[in-house]
Structure 1
Amino acid sequence: MRPRPTRFALPLATAVVLALGILLLGTLELLQSYKEAAGRGEENARNLADVLAEQTERTFQAVDFTLLGIRDALTAATSMPENDDRFRETLKERLKALPYVRALYVIGPDGFIAHDTDYPSTPRVSLADRPYFKAHQQDPALGMHVEQPLRSRSVGVWFVSFSRRINRPDGSFGGIVVAAVEPRYFERFYGGLSVGEDGFIALLLRNGTLLARSPASEEAIGKSFAAVEPLNTHLSRSPQGIFWGASPIDGMTRVIGYRALDTVPAVVNVGLARQTVLRPWREHAIVVSISAAILLGLTGALIALVQKSRRREQAEQARLSRAQRLEGLGRIAGGIAHDLGNTIRIMHSTFRLLRPSLADRPDALSLVKDADQTLKGATAMIERLLAFARRQELRPEITVIDGRIEGFASILRQAAGPRIALDLRLSAMGHAARLDPVQLEATLLNLVLNARDAMPDGGTITVETTGIDRPSDPGGRRAYNADRRWVQITVTDTGIGMPPAVLERAFDPFFTTKGQGNGLGLSQVLGFVQQSAGDVELESREGRGTIVRLLFPVMMPDEQVDGRSGSETARSGELHTQPEAALREIPSHGSGPDPIGPKRHRG
């Protein structure tokens, strides 16, 4: 075999070097952006821990100042009777300035409450067995004491005791003054701060006892986490810092910033979920990866064309003169420019020409169909991303909902397939909405295809319309206009439904539980409906099917300036070519691109 000339090996070597360079630069960029994203997350956790530690420090100092004032007042008034009305009013006034304190009370040396802001509802029981009472009774030099969370014997809620000793004039034990701080205050305060999805904020004593946590964890309050970082080793090395670790409560990996308080033996922890911290990096990584793939593909195609052209040039050199070779190079250059401009069209044409000749070879024909479908999927993915971002160009018109759906029913039945019944219950009573009717048809087609995939053994898909005064919103999450009527389109299937974890992320772009598809179907539905001033509600239970509600504001008669043309268009039942084209791409055996994001769980 003749060795390949060195001059023809140069483009291949150049391509390899270029490809390695692209991969190296892409890897370096991803590493650098990863470090930057992680660094930003660590800085955010550290800064938030510092701010919360300072705020908590001031809160505890305010409690201590109040305890000192009460103690001094009691020391000066040695003959004050128990439950003195004027003194109790003074305690209540001090309590108003401390929203994080549930009650202020004084325990006498006998262990019974002598003064209390809850009087007379507090039962008269001895508190001499409480750890904070014993601590002051046994140690006269003890300053402000913070005890681990306890259950209140009067109201049954968790509280953290902040207490100081009261000395008699002769220095003997005269009781203690106590502020009952509610952990729920800190949980509510922390809950109002933005720590991202799955983030947490926790307040612990230095001995590891959990005082408060957001999100709240009732069973964890009062438990000791002394063997968990940062209390185990990090805190002994530095009073503040950051580290990556898994939570002992939910096992999730987070970047955790911590800071110990100066005046109180407590520590503030702030945890940001790894997935939240790295979300910007993942988005950047997708862009970098796609860009690198495009560059590598173009480089490979260019080198392949150059190699082909050079081999053709070598064959011509044996019998053509210098002029002929120059002429050949000119034709080659023109061919390269033409080929690059028509690559995609050539691929589509090739696939169409191959299909008839591969009719007796189903495996090869399936590969050709899959390759051709992949090219079409690129354009569909771009359109679906635009829909989720609500930047697609719509052509809204006044559309009578029932008429449009009735005209599109035949295609919906064809999409559902022979094993699934499509039940139409159109009772919107002529209500019209201003929306893009073509996109409405595409949305319904998406939902029917997704419902079909959720019923592998057959079933029923119900498409129902109705006019309502106000959408149901049991969670209080949305502020609907109560003065406007709404038209509701409900798509219900009797499929296998979705588990809560899948339902939670159903509208996320690129999220799918199917083995194929791009996971943009529900994202497209959500983007179109919201861009049309409407909303989407999704309900699903495993084994009981899924319900999707599309809500659109009804156009009032005085708003329907172009209502006649829109109504006539809707009643005519004319079908746009886009849904029909989408229907022609429906696979006959459940294969093809994912028409809607999250796939129902199949058990």
Structure 2
Amino acid sequence: MQSLPGLEIRCMGPRSARFALSLAPAVILALGIVLLGALELLQSYNEAARRGEEGARNLVHVLAEQTERTFQAVDFTLLGIRDAQTTIADMPDNDARFRGALKERLNALPYVRALYVIGPDGFITHDTDYPSTPQVSLADRPYFKAHQEDPTLGLHIGQPLRSRSVDAWFVSFSRRINHPDGSFGGIVVAALEPRYFEQFYRGLSVGENGFIALLLREGTLLARSPASEAAIGRSFAAAEPFYTYLLRSPQGVFWAPSPVDRTTRVTAYRALGTAPAVVIVGLAQQAVFQPWREHAAVVFITAVILLGLIVALIFLVQKSRRREQIEQARLSRVQRLEGLGRIAGGIAHDLGNTIRIVQSTFLLLKPSLAGRAEVLSLVNETDQALKGARAMIERLLAFARRQELRPEVTGIDERIAGFVPILRQAAGPRVSLDLNLASGGTAALLDPVQLEATLLNLVLNARDAMPDSGTVTVATEITSPPPGSVGIRRPSGADEQWVQITVTDTGIGMPPAVLERAFDPFFTTKGQGSGLGLSQVLGFVQQSAGDVQLDSEEGRGTTVRLMFPAAAREDRANDNLGPEAAVGLGELRS
């Protein structure tokens, strides 16, 4: 006979060291992924910072070269105008030919707004804006005073000033004019517009919140893009790079918040070699690290996916190992109970034969003892004791799956509903009995009398587990085949459904040690009784090709699940067959 499914008792202990070791590679792999991801992010972060610094350094280098060429072109123009002014003696003010030459030079310098010559008295003598230039003295201008006071001063780049003629910012580039005797003869001036630099810088790609600035060496801002009208002419001598870095090196890169808008940037600076000016390029930290953030998002998502797969793998391994442990425990218990069943069955069979012989002997003796009342009474008492022993033997045979069953197609819900009055009486007045019959009229091939005896046995056990009061719930439902049921031989066309009967109480429950031995024959914690109740339940269910699951937790009650294969179509069609045919179907199931 093929072995039948066993029982499941959920009293597993802590995980073994072997299981922990089996998880070690997955944990090491997960840690490796996290470590590699962190190293990759750190390396790519440093690489993004390096690229940002390199980009700022390259751009400031190009702009510094371009700015130096611009300043040199302006200076060459000023030198030419100065030489022409000193060459032509007694040139009248606002000479038309000379003004025409100035305008030609101005057309070659798109970044210069005006060219003009200031006499030693501070008044303009030649001007590309003539005659719209107001006749006012410029002797108070700082660039005029600088040349007037220092004969050795070469090219002078002044601080941004507001033009008195057009009310716009300009930066003065000026050279001194000397008389033949070396005395002060005035200055020649080129007025550069900061807007030119702002527009030129605006066309360069410095990213969002990036900036380009041109400042004097002493920290005064000449031009900036994006334009900042309030910042032009403002001194930033107390900010970097003027405060520290420029004193150490004429060029460099540093990270710091901007003193204008407080945005953190990587800033590259370069001082011009031919003029007292500095070009600064700032790339916003957010823009510099935007590619890194996108890369980090990809790395993070990839790491999360891999870690999720590892967690899923660990979960599946853990689930498989737990299932393996449960199956091993199930197999061990089934083998143990099978051994006990064979022993109990053999003993019960032999004792049953002996008891039948004794009972037959008593039956033959009774007529000859009719006149001896005391002896007859003793024989009757002994015969009653033998009947009790016979009942115990029948329970042992049930545990050993050797009891005689009369299986028939039985509607589970209908059978239980008809047996409810007896179950309520067995539960007693202090225990309430709740029903939840939801198997939808599903039938199973089993012995209905033994089913009722099994339910009665479970309700009595539940009542004993609730000495004060409580609730016993009897429920039915359709379920899938339990683990270990795939080996059961079933008739062709059988439904792949099982019907489950659940008996739950709210009693004291069982500790793991008791739960482990709950189905052992003669094991009891009540101090009375034979200890064969659950053993008989187990034997009946397994002999009916079913399965038993027992869950219990100390202080939280006990749940017993009886599961039977739903009756196949052939079983239902043969519902009216004789007992011999029914027994034959029962043997096929076993």
Q: What does residue range 512-527 of structure 1 map to in structure 2 within 5 Å?
A: none
In the alignment, which residue of structure 2 is the partner of 1:132? 143
- Please tell me whether residue 6 in structure 1 is matched to residue 17 in structure 2: yes
| Distance across 2 between alignment mates of 1:297 and 1:24 | 16
1:23-67 CA distances to partner (integer Å, 9 max, x unpaired)? 111111111111111111111111000000000000000000000
Deviations, residues 291-314 of structure 1 (Å, cap 9, x unaligned): 111111110111111122122223
Q: 1:61 aligns with which of 52, 59, 72?
A: 72
Alignment pair present for 1:165 and 2:176: yes
The 5 A counterparts of 1:193-342 are 193-317=204-328
Matched, 1:151 2:162: yes
* CA-to-aligned-CA distance 1:505-558 (integer Å, 9 cap, x gap): xxxxxxxxxxxxxxxxxxxxxxxxxxxxxxxxxxxxxxxxxxxxxxxxxxxxxx
Q: Report the alpha carbon displacement of residue 75 of structure 1 after superposing the two structures with TM.
A: 1.1
Partner of 2:561: none
Q: Return the alpha-carbon distance in structure 1 between the equivalents of residues 190 and 296 of structure 2.
A: 52
CA drift of 1:2 comes to 5.7
- State the number of aligned residues: 325
Matches within 5 A, 1:435-584: none
2:267 and 2:330 map into 1 onto residues whose CA distance is: 75
1:476 aligned partner: none
Q: Secondary structure at the match of 2:126?
A: strand
Counterpart for residue 33 of structure 2 = 22
Distance in 2 separating the partners of 1:239 and 1:55 = 17
For 1:11 and 1:67, how far apart are their aligned partners in 2? 85
* d(CA) in 2 for partners of 1:282, 1:39: 15
Pairwise CA distance, 1:241: 0.9
Find the aligned partners of 2:137 and 2:94 in 1 and give their Cα distance. 16
Return the match for 2:200 from 159, 176, 189.
189
Following superposition, the deviation at residue 207 of structure 1 comes to: 0.8
Q: Secondary structure at 1:219's aligned position in 2?
A: coil
**1:517 alignment counterpart:** none
Most deviating of 136-145 and 76-85: 76-85
- Deviation (angstroms), 1:316: 3.6
Contact 1:11 1:303 in 2 (8 A): no
Letter in 2 for 1:281: W
What is the distance in 2 between the residues matched to 1:117 and 1:251?
A: 41
Higher Cα radius of gyration: 2
Structure 1 residues 71, 14: CA separation in 2 closer, same or farther (over 3 Å shift)? same
**Letter of the structure 1 residue corresponding to residue 143 of structure 2:** Y
Residues 319, 112 of structure 1: alpha-carbon distance in 2 compared, 3 angstrom cutoff: closer
Could you state the TM-score of these two structures normalised by the residue count of structure 2? 0.54
Q: Distance in 2 between matches of 1:253 and 1:76?
A: 54
Show the counterpart of 1:573. none
Q: By how many angstroms is 1:11 displaced? A: 2.8
Structure 1 segments unaligned to the other structure (5+ residues): 325-331, 333-603
What is the alpha-carbon root mean square deviation over aligned residues?
Answer: 2.0
Q: Cα distance, 1:317 vs. partner?
A: 4.0
2:121 paired with 1:97: no
Task: Name the counterpart of 1:77.
Answer: 88
Q: Contact between 1:159 and 1:183, CA under 8 Å: does it hold in 2?
A: yes
Matched, 1:38 2:49: yes
Cα distance in structure 2, aligned partners of 1:181 and 1:59: 10
Amino acid at match of 2:151: P
- Confirm or deny: 8 A CA contact 1:11 1:307 kept in the other structure: no
